[in-house]
Amino acid sequence: MAKIKVQNTEVTIITYDEKDYISLTDMVRNIENGLALIEKWLRNKNTIEFLGIWEEMYNPEFNSPEFEGIKNEAGLNRFILSVKQWVEKTKSKGIIAKAGRYGGTYAHKDIAFEFASWVSPQFKLYLLKEFQRLKEQEQAQLGWTAKRELSKINYHIHTDAIKQNLIPAEVTAKQASIIYSDEADMLNVAMFGITAKMWRERYPQLKGNIRDYASINELICLSNMENLNAVFIEQGIPQGERLIKLNQVAIQQMRVLEENGNRKLLK
C-alpha cells in the first residue's frame, strides 16, 4: 500500500493480483457529493463499453453474457448500477470494492486514469505525474536492494576461504572478526582506495557504510573481486600481492563496465 498526493488530495494505491489499483474513493473525497460521481460514471454507456473491453482483454472469468445485458440497458433513464452490482454480476477484476481501514472502490490503474480524466483532465495529468514519480521511487529502491544483494553473492565463498586458510585453529571470536574485517577492508582499498574507517571519518554526515553508496557497476566488480580473492587466498598468495592484483582487476573491469561506446553494458 502506498499513498500519493494529487492537488492536495491523498490517494491510496494498493497491490491486488500483483497489479496497481488506485482508490477512486480517494480521488473524489474532497469533492461535494463525490462518492455519487463514481456510480454516475459507472452508469455512463461509454464507461460500460470501456470496462467491458478491458475485462475481456484481461479477465478470463469475465461474465460476458451478463455484461451484454448491462450494456444494452446503459443509457436508459431507468438504468441504475452500483459498483457492488457490477462486480457481482460480471465478476469484474478491473474494479474492486475493498472493506476495512483502507476500504473503498479501487480500480486497476488503466481504469483509474480513465475515471480521473472523466472527473477532471487536470486532475488526471497530476495523478499521472505523481504515479510515475512513485514508480520511479520504487524502481530506485528496488535497484538499491539489488545492489546490496549483489554484493553478497560471493560473501560466503569469500568468508569460507578466509576461515579455512587465514584463521588459525586456536583463535578467539574477536580475533577472527579482526581478520574478516581486515580482508573486507583490503577489498575496499582495492576497489575504492579507502578503508571503511577512513570513509566514515571522511563522511561523518552519511549513514550506512561505503558499500551503501557504491554504484551498481562498482558492486558488480566488488562481487567478482570477492570471488577472486577467495581463489587467491586458496592459492596462498600474500595479502599485499592480492591487493595489487585485485586493484588491477578493479581498474580493468570498471573500465569495461563504464565504457561509453557502442558496447555499453550497464547504465
pLDDT single digits (tens) 188-210: 999 999 998 999 999 989 888 88
- Over residues 89-95, mean pLDDT: 94
Phi, psi of 23 (to 5 degrees): -75, 115
DSSP H or E stretch at residue 59: none
Answer whether residue 153 shows pLDDT above 70.
no
CA-nearest of 88, 90, 89, 87 to 24 is 87
Answer whether residue 262 shows pLDDT above 90.
no
Higher pLDDT, 152 or 73: 73
Angle at 138 between CA 257 and CA 99, to 5 degrees: 160
Answer whether residue 261 shows pLDDT above 60.
no
- Over residues 87-106, mean pLDDT: 88
Report which DSSP code applies to 236: T
Answer whether residue 151 shows pLDDT above 70.
no
Categorize the per-residue pLDDT at 266 as very low, low, confident or very high, splitting at 50, 70 and 90: very low
Answer whether residue 87 shows pLDDT above 90.
yes
Helices (H), the chain: 24-27, 34-42, 45-58, 64-73, 83-90, 109-119, 121-150, 155-165, 173-192, 196-202, 216-234, 239-257
pLDDT of residue 62: 94
Of the candidate ranges 67-81, 144-158, 213-227, the one whose mean pLDDT is the lowest:
144-158
